[in-house]
Amino acid sequence: MKEQLEEIRRKAIALLDECADIGLLDDLRVKYLGKKGELTAILKQMGKLTAEERPAMGQLANKVRADIEEKIAEKSAQINEALEEARIAAETIDVTLPGKKQPVGRLHPLTKVLDEVKDVFLGMGFDIVDGPEVEYDYYNFTALNLPPDHPARDMQDTFYINDNILLRTQTSSVQVHVMENKKPPIRIISPGRVYRSDAMDATHSPLFHQIEGLVVDKGVTMADLSGTLDMLMKRLYGEKCEIRLRPHHFPFTEPSAEVDILCFNCGGKGCSMCKGEGWVELLGAGMVHPWVLENCGIDPEVYSGFAFGLGLERIVMGRYGINDLRMFYDNDVRFLGQF
């Protein structure tokens, strides 16, 4: 019996040493220490031993059991530790790996500056309105004192859908829509695309953007126009910015003016940007012509108004020192990423 016990211990310890799996470890525990296990089977034979043999054999059997139990505990700890290490290794994040870069878009410079312009006008109580880009001749020309065959039509050639419908050449068409639909007081700006049949070069594009402004109320004067534009330009270009109004002619405003700002590059001394002038032309403006008011059902004896039309591209070019308008439309991210 002694040999049997020793043999069980030898085998059990050898098998346990090899064991690297928690399920297998449990199988071995059952195989040796379980109720129907090998050790139990031997112990059941204790009855056959003599009274003298029994204590020593009992002691040995207990020792064997204890040794096997100890080995099982040791192995179980080892296996669990290895499992834990494997789990940690599997879950480890290598914080030194370079991240996956998410390409993030940004606002187009035209959109960015337009948003600023909108903010300035919203702050002054203006509404922002939208108008159609495909327009009737009447709104784009006739209602603005440019009847068919008027020579000034030649300055704004565009793309015709048919004799009566065209792509608008100016946002001034929105003035007419607004005045037809709303009675004074009117304070709006209307930004949007306009189209002209111009060849593309550094300062021309068949598609560009304007921001129309219109204010109609009792007692509106040229001073209101000047003050409004002065405020806008100071907000866009800084407090030092100055504007000047130069007499001009538009069929739908009287008097009319072209508005220049003190060159942002040289401050008025004259440079290549302002072509030595010291001033840069930015927009057209004037007092809404009485006939235009009348065309829209507003009594010019009671109301007066001013209007202006800003070229958005020109403002943005001045703002960032961009010298070629085509860059706005090239979709080159190296350019667009700078704003």
Residue numbers at the binding site for ligand PHE (CB under 6 A) = 170, 172, 250, 253, 284-286, 307-309
Contacts of residue 320, defined as CB under 8 A and 6 or more positions apart, other chains included, come to 109, 339
∠152-305-171 over CA atoms, to 5°?
Answer: 45
User: What is d(CA 335, CA 118) in angstroms, rounded to the nearest whole number?
Assistant: 24
Q: Shortest distance, CB of residue 106 to ligand PHE, whole angstroms?
A: 29
Q: Treating both helix axes as pointing N-terminal to C-terminal, what angle do 312-320 and 109-123 enclose, rounded to 10 degrees?
A: 110
Q: Shortest distance, CB of residue 116 to ligand PHE, whole angstroms?
A: 20
Which residue's CB atom is positioned nearest to ligand PHE?
309
* Closest to 192 (Cα-Cα) out of 225, 164, 169: 169
Query: 184 or 284, CB closer to ligand PHE?
Result: 284
Query: 69 or 127, CB closer to ligand PHE?
Result: 127
Structure token pair of residue 2:
């002694």
Query: 57 or 229, CB closer to ligand PHE?
Result: 229
Query: 170 or 295, CB closer to ligand PHE?
Result: 170
* CB hemisphere CA count around 237 (13 angstroms): 26
Q: Shortest distance, CB of residue 233 to ligand PHE, whole angstroms?
A: 16
Q: Shortest distance, CB of residue 178 to ligand PHE, whole angstroms?
A: 12
Q: Shortest distance, CB of residue 227 to ligand PHE, whole angstroms?
A: 16
Q: Shortest distance, CB of residue 311 to ligand PHE, whole angstroms?
A: 8
Query: 89 or 223, CB closer to ligand PHE?
Result: 223
Place of tokens 């402004």: 213
Local structure of 131: helix, strand or coil: coil
Query: 172 or 304, CB closer to ligand PHE?
Result: 172
- Which DSSP letter does residue 188 get? E
* CB hemisphere CA count around 286 (13 angstroms): 20
